[in-house]
Structure 1
Amino acid sequence: MPAEKVPLAGQRILIAEDESFIAFELAAMMERLGCTVVGPVSRVEEVLRHAVEGWCDGALLDVNLRGQLIFEILPRLQAVRLPLIISSGYQDINFYPMNFRMLPRIGKPVDERELRRVCELVFGNSLRDGRFDA
């Protein structure tokens, strides 16, 4: 029987989170999913630098980093075609600007099974191989 492919194995995922305990937990979860964690970083400028310089394959972004919302940099992240997931305690859809409401989101506190599901959809190797098994 062939070995089962791990959809997230080897993906370099940037974690942007300014709460150190949450950042530590997210990093541990992502590593259990087979990802290589970049960061965590806690400032919007660091997210942009990592994304533009190509140091990551995707990003898991807290919506509010040290009081600065990430919405202002999302167009640049989209321009470099960086797959991303927003993690947030803000569940009211009206909090998000209209043009970012369809972005993949995961609520806090983060459920590891839900994180796996969303990460496989957004970051999974199967998407890069041209296959999508949902």
Structure 2
Amino acid sequence: MSDGTGRIAGVRVLIVEDETIIAMAAEDMVEDMGAIVHATAASLGEAMAAVAAGGFDIALLDINLHDERSMPAAHALELGGTPFLFTTGYGSGGPDPAFSHVPVLPKPYRQADVAAAIATALGR
């Protein structure tokens, strides 16, 4: 784990991603980093249920979930004090201005970038 991924070992991660292949790749990355996939959600409804249930340390939120945006989940996470990152295939522009302080990981993302962003968001 010379790329710094050891800093997030044991971290429980919620992955919100509507594309199955990308979700599976993200799950593999998280596990390869020594972190734990707490849950994976493919829709806003699933994301909201997972956020309400809690039990994770950080969330990776795809901004666009088919015909929905993940902003309601982002609001719920922020209200609950749970750190999160946005992921998107549409460049750095994406979240509404209320979330300009939240890091955005452009897709396709690399494991080292995900690890660094998670570690930074968690203050590690």
TM range, smaller chain:
0.7 to 0.9
Q: Which residue does 1:116 correspond to in 2?
A: 115
**Misfit runs of 4+, over 3 Å:** none
- Residue 96 of structure 1 aligns with which residue? 95
Structure 2 CA distance, aligned partners of 1:28 and 1:49?
A: 23
What's the CA shift string for 1:39-93, capped at 9, x where partnerless?
2210112212222222211101111112110113322110111110111012153
Aligned residues: 120
1:55 aligns with 2:55: yes
SS at match of 1:109: coil
**Alignment pair present for 1:9 and 2:27:** no
Following the alignment from structure 1 to structure 2, what is the Cα–Cα distance between the partners of residues 92 and 84?
15
Larger radius of gyration: 1
> Is 1:84–2:57 an aligned residue pair?
no
Whole-Å Cα distance in 2 between the matches of residues 91 and 39 of structure 1? 25
Residue type at the aligned position of 2:53? E
1:18/1:43 contact within 8 Å kept: yes
Query: RMSD between aligned alpha carbons?
Result: 1.8
Give me the TM-score of the superposition, normalised by structure 2: 0.87
Q: Distance in 1 between matches of 2:92 and 2:120?
A: 23
Aligned-residue offset at 1:38 = 2.1
CA distance in 1, matches of 2:22, 2:62: 10
Give the TM-score, by structure 1 length.
Answer: 0.81
Distance change (3 Å), C-alpha of 1:27 and 1:18:
same
For the Cα contact (< 8 Å) 2:74–2:84, is it kept in 1? no
Q: Any gaps of 5 or more consecutive residues in structure 1? A: 1-5
| Separation in structure 2 between the aligned mates of residue 33 and residue 122 of structure 1, nearest angstrom | 16
Aligned residue for 1:3?
Answer: none
